[in-house]
Amino acid sequence: MATKQLAQFIWIEKFRPQAVKDILLPNKLKKYFLGLIEKKEIPNLLLYSSNPGSGKTTIAKAICNDIGADFIYINNSMESGIDTLRSNISRFASTKSMHGGPKIVILDEADAGHNEAFQKALRGFMEEFANSCRFILTCNYISKIIEPLQSRCEKVDFGFMITEIQEEMKPKIVKRLSLILTAEKIQFDPATIAKIVDTYYPDIREMLKLLQQFTRTMEESEVLNDSIFNVQMINSELYDFILQNKFTKAREYIINHNYNFDELYSNFYREFIPLVEKKEKWPQITIILAQYQHQNSFVADKELNFSACLWEILGCLQS
C-alpha cells in the first residue's frame, strides 16, 4: 500500500496535526511554540516526558513545517551509532538550506540505549553547526541525557500530569476525539469518550488506536459504548521490541498478554508496517504477514506459526 494511502488509513497518521496551532497543548505551552514560529527562529530543544503519545514528535515536525525548515528525522532507538552522526547528520547539517533558514535535526528517543559516547559526539556537532543547524531532541527519561546536552537545549516538559493541566487538556482531547468520530461517521456515547480519555491520558496515540481498532468491528447502526474496553489492544511496546530486533522479548510479551493469534496478523498489517521507516520493506512484510495468516487457519500450533512469522519479519528488517 502506498504511503499516502496508509496515511489515510491509519488514524494516527490521518489525523496527525501538521501545524502547531492544531496540536493539543496546554495554552501556556502552545503560546511558547507559536512565539518561536512567529520569529522563524528556534533554539535547540529537548522535549521530554515519561508518558508516550503526548505529542513530542508531532510538535517537532510541526515546528519544521510551520517555519519552512529543511529537516532530517532520526529515530535514535534504531540509529544510535557514531556513524549516524558522521554520515546522516554531518552531511545534512553541512549543506546549505534550500529555504535559507536554519536546518533542523529531529533526534527522536534521544535517550534510547543511554549511549553516552553518542551523546558526547552529538554535543560536538551541536557546537560545530551552531550557526546553521538546530537540534530537537525527544526523550522519555531526561535523566539519561548527559548534562552538557541538556545545557545546550531549552527543556520542555510534555508530562502534562499536573492537576491543573489535566483539567485543561482532558476536555480538549474529548472534543478532538469526538470530532474525529463524527468525521468518520461513527455514532458514539459521549460518556464513553470521556472515560477513554480518563483511562489513557495523556497518551492520545493509544486512544486513537483503541478507537480505530474497535470501530472496525462495529455494525453501521451500532453506537460506540463501554464495550470498547473489552478490546485487547496491542501495546506499542511490542512493536518496539521487533523494531529493536529483540525476538525473545517480543515472543515473551505476546505469550504474557495472551493475544489472539487470529487477530495479530491484521493488527500488524494496520499498525506495525507504518512504523517501519524503510518503506521499501513494507511490501515484503505485507507478503510475509499474508502468507502466515493463511497458514494460521490450519496449523496445529498457532504460537509456533506466529513465531516463525516474527523471525521472517526480523530477517526482512535486518536485510
Percent with pLDDT over 70 in the chain: 93
Contacts (Cβ under 8 Å, ≥6 apart) of 276? 243, 282, 285, 317
Q: What is the CATH number of the domain that holds 202?
A: 1.10.8.60
Q: What DSSP character marks residue 235?
A: P
Contacts (Cβ under 8 Å, ≥6 apart) of 25? 33, 55, 59
Is 6 part of any domain?
Answer: no
**Same domain flag for 77 and 188:** no
- Residue 126, Cβ neighbours under 10 Å: how many? 21
Grid cell listed for 36: 518561536
**Mean pLDDT value of segment 45-62:** 91
The one-letter code for the residue type at 85 is: L
pLDDT (0 to 100) of residue 5: 43
Domain boundary among 230, 249, 276: 230
Residue with cell 492520545: 204
pLDDT bucket at 65, cuts 50 / 70 / 90: very high
**Mean pLDDT value of segment 263-273:** 85
**Same domain flag for 42 and 124:** yes
pLDDT (0 to 100) of residue 100: 67
Q: Give Dmax over CA atoms of the chain in angstroms.
A: 63
Question: Looking at the predicted structure, is the pLDDT value of residue 21 above 70?
Answer: yes
**How many domains are contained in the chain?**
3
Contacts (Cβ under 8 Å, ≥6 apart) of 294? none
Is 105 part of any domain?
Answer: yes
**Same domain flag for 122 and 185:** no
The one-letter code for the residue type at 132 is: S
Is 189 part of any domain?
Answer: yes
Question: Looking at the predicted structure, is the pLDDT value of residue 47 above 90?
Answer: yes
- Could you list the beta-strand ranges (E) of 147-267: 154-157, 187-188, 223-224
Residues β-bridged to residue 46: 137, 155
Most confident of 115-119, 192-196, 271-275: 192-196
Most confident of 80-94, 99-113, 214-228, 301-315: 301-315
pLDDT (0 to 100) of residue 1: 39
**Mean pLDDT value of segment 196-215:** 90
pLDDT (0 to 100) of residue 184: 93
SS3 137: strand
CA 119/CA 84 separation, integer angstroms: 12
pLDDT bucket at 286, cuts 50 / 70 / 90: very high
pLDDT bucket at 2, cuts 50 / 70 / 90: very low
Tens digit of pLDDT for each residue in 124-166?
Answer: 889 988 888 999 999 988 999 999 999 999 999 998 999 999 9
Domain boundary among 157, 172, 188: 157
CA 158/CA 39 separation, integer angstroms: 22
CA 225/CA 177 separation, integer angstroms: 14
**Same domain flag for 36 and 119:** yes
**Same domain flag for 254 and 135:** no
pTM of the model: 0.72
CA 196/CA 217 separation, integer angstroms: 18
**Mean pLDDT value of segment 269-289:** 91
**Same domain flag for 48 and 134:** yes
**Same domain flag for 174 and 305:** no
**Same domain flag for 206 and 296:** no
Q: What is the CATH number of the domain that holds 52?
A: 3.40.50.300
149/266: higher pLDDT: 149
User: Could you please report the per-residue DSSP string of 251-316?
Assistant: HHHHHHHT--HHHHHHHIIIIIGGG-S-GGGHHHHHHHHHHHHHHHTT-S-HHHHHHHHHHHHHHH
pLDDT bucket at 206, cuts 50 / 70 / 90: confident
User: Could you please report the per-residue DSSP string of 3-36?
Assistant: HHHHHHHSHHHHT--SSGGGS---HHHHHHHHHH
pLDDT (0 to 100) of residue 79: 65
**Mean pLDDT value of segment 265-288:** 90
Question: Looking at the predicted structure, is the pLDDT value of residue 301 above 90?
Answer: no
**Same domain flag for 295 and 181:** no
Grid cell listed for 61: 515536525
pLDDT bucket at 319, cuts 50 / 70 / 90: confident
Distance (Å) of CA 167 to CA 26, 54, 149, 157: 10, 15, 33, 17
**Same domain flag for 247 and 304:** yes
214: number of CA atoms within 13 Å, CB side? Answer: 25
Question: Looking at the predicted structure, is the pLDDT value of residue 4 above 50?
Answer: no
**Mean pLDDT value of segment 180-205:** 94
The boundaries of the domain holding residue 266 are 236-318
Grid cell listed for 80: 544510535
162/86: higher pLDDT: 162
Residue with cell 493475544: 259
**Same domain flag for 210 and 308:** no
Is 109 part of any domain?
Answer: yes
Question: Looking at the predicted structure, is the pLDDT value of residue 121 above 90?
Answer: no
Q: What DSSP character marks residue 55?
A: S
Tens digit of pLDDT for each residue in 27-46?
Answer: 999 999 999 999 888 999 99
**Same domain flag for 87 and 145:** yes
Domain boundary among 99, 131, 157: 157
